Every structure is written in structure tokens, then in C-alpha cells.
A and B are shown apart, each in its own frame.
Chain A
Amino acid sequence: MAVIKSAKDTSPGALGGLGSETPQGKDAAPLHKRRRRWQNGLGAVPFLAYVGIFLLIPAISVVTTAFQDAHGKPTMANFNEAAHGIYLESFITSIKLSFFSAVIAAIVGILAALAVTTTSNRIVRSLVSAGSGVFANTGGVPLAFSFVATVGNFGVLTVFLKSAGLDIYAHGFSLYSVMGLTIVYQYFLIPLMILIMIPPIQALRKEWVDASESLGASRLQFWRWVGIPLLMPPILAAFIVLFTDAFAAYATAEALTSGTIPLVPIEVGSLISGNVLAGQANLGDALGAGMIVVVMIAGLLYAYVQRRASRWLR
């Protein structure tokens, strides 16, 4: 949520409303203004309560138990184990998968969002927006099954292509691999990117295009020097959303690969459900804590880049 909010805050649309007034210091604000600020802050209480109960408390619990053994005694053994062997490999694979999935989805999603925002056909715009809303929230077993039925070993498309003389599996493709998962993830990541990017692209003012054109710039130069830099903060924010979405995806990967590819969410699920060894929940918590760290690093990286990229916002 926080990441999405940042994306909105930093969208070019938000730029238009910036005035030249200097914010007053807290001490300088009159009493009634301070009181109003406090009253306005009350509106955030439900959200803060929600975040506290469903995000903060579980996160603290995960991190705390990650430092304990099965008997509740303090230990670093869980982290030590999480940083080696199959678990380290799962982190590397998860990060690679999420990164490349997010990169592909970001590029395709931006191009699609640009196409949608520039079309004059309202029906196309409505269809893409509505469709993206649905597809961005589609995942899990049904999505895995639909891909198995289409491009699985005996999927409709696989069989059709084979009968036409092209055996995609003989050419190195496999749905049940990291490459296969990357493709499947695009199904929900690209629509998510479209949904996130349409508002900031729409907020780019036509006068900026006209002004650059009147100054002799080509459309490419406009995008290079104006459009892309202005869209960079929302693009980065969207990229982090895509990355974390792919990083945390569990059901689709589990249904498609049955745990044959080491991914952190699958390892956590396996440890918590005790499929391999009983009493390994604390190790699962250590992996969970590791996931939190990865997401936090991604968030900090975003904040750093956004700070450098958007000096004009301050």
C-alpha cells in the first residue's frame, strides 16, 4: 500500500498542483490549525489499525520466532541455515524470477499503457482498464491450470504447434521451469503495470509535448528528456510493486511446479506445513524474515532513486 501511495504522490499529476508557497513550520502554525491537523489525522486511524494488526504484529512475530529454536530459546541457527544450501538457492531463484518478470512486465505494461492512453477509442480504453483490473487479480491454481491446458506438455497450443511441425518442448521451452513461471507471471503482472501506469501517463500535459515540439524536439527527444524522467518515479514504484508481487506469489508456482523449483514462498510453505520435517516452523520464519528484508531493501532502493530522480518535487 505504501508503495502505491508513493507512486500516486510522485506522479506528474501531482506536480501540477504544486504551488510556490513555502510550508510553514509546525511551531509557527496557530493553535486551531494544529488542532485541525490532529483531527484530520484521526481519519488515518482505521488504516493504521489495519496495518498494525495484519502487517506489523505478524511481521514482529515472524522476526521474533526466527531468532528462537523449537523450544523458544534464542538462536541464530535458523538464519544460518536459511543463508545456505537450498534455502540460499531459493532466495537467488526467487529474486531472479521476480526481477526479470517485473522487468518484462514493466516494459510491456508501459508500452501498453501508452497505447491505451493515446487511443481515441473509448471502448478500447474501457475494455483494457476493466480487463486489466480482472487479470491483475487472477492467479493461483486456475491460472496454472489454464497455462497447463494451453502450453503444457499436452496443451492445446503445444499439440497444435507439434502437428504443424514445431515442438516447442524439443526447442528448450518448458512451462515447468523458471522461464515458464516468468511467462505465466506476465498474465497478472502486465495488467497490474497497465493499471498503475495509466493515471501518471494521463497526467502528462499535452502542452509539454507541444512546447517541446515548438522548440524543435522530436517525439523521441521529448520522451528522453521530459516524458520518461517525469514518469520515472511512478515507473520505479510500479516496478517495486511488480517485483514484490512476483516475489511473494505462492499458489501459481506451487500448482505449476509442485515445488520442483526452489522458491522462497514454496520453501516457507513446505516448512510451515511440516511436509519434510516437523518442528521446522522457526526456519520458515527465518525465511519469512529474509523476504521482509528483501522487500525492505527494494523499498529503500526505490526511495533513494526516487529522491534523486524527483528533485523537482521538493
Chain B
Amino acid sequence: MTDTAATSSTLARSGVSVEIRGLSRYFKDVAALKSLSLKAEPGELIVLLGPSGCGKTTALRSLAGLERPDEGQIFIGSNDVTDLPAAKRSIGMVFQSYSLFPNMTAKVNVEFGLRVMGLKPKERTQRAAELLELVGLASLASRYPHELSGGQQQRVALARALAVRPQLLLLDEPLSALDAKVRSQLREEIRRIQLELGITTFFVTHDQEEALALADRIAVMHQGQLEQLDTPLAVYSRPATEFVAEFVGNVNRLKGTVIDAETVEVESVGKVAYSSSSGYRAGTRVDVLIRPESLGVVPATTDGCTVFARSFLGASLKLALRDKNGVAITVEVSVAEAASVATAEVVTLFSRGAALLVRPAS
């Protein structure tokens, strides 16, 4: 730890702000990005989250200069870099498929950008050693990529990206090719290094858990547009759109009737609190989006929801239910609470939290 701390002190720097203004990119007639705008504060880690084809990688490649936008501007600090080639943007990028140069050892890979910059061999060696130390691979410096595991290769790729002291770090699904355990370890390591260096970072992923765990703010994207840019907690608990509510975390979509400005009667659940600026009138039929953990269960004897599957998740138990109308409902309860319904065939639902969103009935 002392070594790492010493190393990071020589690496530390302050981040820059990054701003995207009205970025659009078309591939033939298909719009990959539609007037995307967002701003990252210095040292912030923003996760671009969305399903495949939502434009998150196009946005990242545009930031890198590997993709030329059809409209819009990109600023790194106060500099407009929209027309600047990738090689002159002072960025570090880590790709999904490792992308280490197979003909170079880990050390030489890390030295690559420094060699391009014209640094002397001694300085390059020293810098590469610092970075390999930072990612915990100092002892594997002389190995070729094929002699390293996936996680180790991605650490080298991260060291290589950071070696050139970039103003901006871009990570394009860097963990998606790794197994769950390595993924989790490396995720924490990336965050640790990012915080230590204070480097402004954009991280692309389609994994919501990864996004929630890593981000200062999450930019949820859908069909080339930004749906919401907010903190993980806000995105999860106060989704701006139905898409965000359904994409980030699990959600139940249930039928309900508005009672008043704060309460809605939800079928099979009962009264649920909600907040909405739409001002629904009492009696309006609505769709209510509610998280599985916002529902509780108690054993019932006859009238209730049928339990047809139980999934043990470690700290919690997920119950798959069907109400009397055949609507599927998911409930997540703590292990302690699960004991009371361990053998129950039929359960009654109740609300233990507010609805995420209330929308006019579809």
C-alpha cells in the first residue's frame, strides 16, 4: 500500500471538464447519436449506460476522435477538439477486447505511447514500472499478452492508457469479456486508480450493476439520445423516464387507480404512495411502476398471489408470483423476512415504498 501510495503521488494530477454539445452521428440513414449533450466535471467518472445499439460506444469513440460526428462540438477543458485527430487529443483509451499489441511485452506495451512522445528509454522504463506497479503487475512486465489472463491484459491496457498522462480516460466495456469475479475485482481497482489520479473518465457499459457501482453520475442512453444524467441513487430511485425505470434495476408494471395526488390503489398490492407532476384526477386508470424491493409479502391462505418460483440471491430472496389475473410480479425480500414465506404457496402483497413512476394506463 505504501508503494502504491508513493507511486500515485507521482502520477496524481487534476482532471479537466469535458463537454459534449449537440453531438449527432449518422451511419447512412440510421442516427447513432441524436443531438447528445452532457458535461463531465473535472475528475468525474461518468458511465454511459444503455442497451446495445443505443449509441454509447459511438459517443465514446467520438470523444476519442476515432469517430467523426456529423454535428455538434466536443470540448476538453476549454479546447474545442471536435476536429482534432485522436492522436492529438491527449486521451487514454481501453477497449473491450484488450487490444494489447501481441508482439510486445506488457512493459513495451505500456511504453508505447511514451515512445511515440519521444521519451528517452530510461524515462520510459521508469514510467512503465510506475504504471505496472499501480495496476499490480510489476512482476509480469516481461510477459507477452498471450501469457497473461484476461484480467491481467486489461490491467496492462489500463496502465498503457494512463502512461501518457492523458487528460481524459475512456473505457469501452473494459470488463465485459471477463468472468464475474475478476470483473468485480477489476471494477474496484479501476475506481481506486481513477480516484487516486483524479482523471476525468467516461466508462461505457450495458451492465447496470457495473454502472451503479462505479459511477459518479450515470448517463442512461436510448436510441442515440440521453434519457437521464444523474447520480446512481437518483437514476435508480427517481428515474426520469419509463425506459430508465425499466432498464436500470428490475421493475413491476402493475395496473392501478388514482385515489388522490399522493396515493394510488394498485391491483393485488393495495395503496401505494406516489409523486407526480402530472396531476392525475381521482379515478384515473394508470400504470404503476414499482421496484421488487418496494413490495413486501405475508403468507396467505386463499386469496392472494401464487408463488411459482424462488431464487436465492445470497442476501435476499427473489419470489416470482402471479396474481389472480395472471400478471407476473417479482418481489425481493431479505433472507430474514423470507423465512416467513419459505413454504407458502399463496402470499399477500403490501407496499413498503413509493412507486417509481405513474403513467396513464396503456
Chain A residues with Cβ below 8 Å from B164 are 215-216
Chain B residues with Cβ below 8 Å from A217 are 87, 112-113, 116
Interface residues of A in 2-34 (CB under 8 A from B): 12, 15, 18-20
Task: Determine whether the beta carbon of A214 is less than 8 Å from that of B86.
Answer: yes
Whether, in the assembled complex, B5 has its beta carbon less than 8 Å from a beta carbon of chain A, the answer is no
* Chain A, interface residues (CB within 8 Å), range: 20 to 34
Chain A residues with Cβ below 8 Å from B64 are 210, 214
Measured CB to CB, the closest approach of chain B to A266, in angstroms, equals 42
Name the contact of B66 in the complex, choosing from A12, A213, A313 (C-beta under 8 A): A213
Task: Determine whether the beta carbon of B87 is less than 8 Å from that of A216.
Answer: yes
Q: By DSSP majority rule, is chain A's interface helix, strand, loop, or mixed?
A: helix
Provide the bound-state CA to CA distance between A208 and B102, in Å.
9
Measured CB to CB, the closest approach of chain B to A38, in angstroms, equals 28
Task: Determine whether the beta carbon of B113 is less than 8 Å from that of A216.
Answer: yes
Provide the bound-state CA to CA distance between A310 and B328, in Å.
58
Provide the bound-state CA to CA distance between A150 and B165, in Å.
61
20 residue pairs A–B, Cβ–Cβ below 8 Å: A15-B146, A205-B97, A207-B95, A207-B97, A210-B93, A210-B95, A211-B157, A214-B66, A214-B91, A214-B93, A215-B113, A215-B164, A216-B117, A217-B112, A230-B101, A230-B102, A230-B103, A310-B103, A312-B104, A312-B144
How many residue-residue contacts, CB under 8 A, span A and B?
87
Give A199-240 as 1s and 0s: 1 = Cβ < 8 Å from B's Cβ atoms: 000000101101111111110010001100110000000000
3 nearest A-B pairs in the assembled complex, by CB-CB distance: A215-B113, A207-B99, A18-B146
Whether, in the assembled complex, A311 has its beta carbon less than 8 Å from a beta carbon of chain B, the answer is yes
Whether, in the assembled complex, B148 has its beta carbon less than 8 Å from a beta carbon of chain A, the answer is yes
Q: By DSSP majority rule, is chain B's interface helix, strand, loop, or mixed?
A: mixed
Chain A residues with Cβ below 8 Å from B101 are 208, 211-212, 225-226, 230
Residue of B nearest to A226 (CB): B101
Residue of A nearest to B166 (CB): A214
Q: Given A210-B95, A214-B66, A216-B88, does the pair A12, B147 have CB atoms closer than 8 Å?
A: no
Provide the bound-state CA to CA distance between A308 and B115, in Å.
22
Task: Determine whether the beta carbon of A213 is less than 8 Å from that of B99.
Answer: no
Measured CB to CB, the closest approach of chain B to A213, in angstroms, equals 4
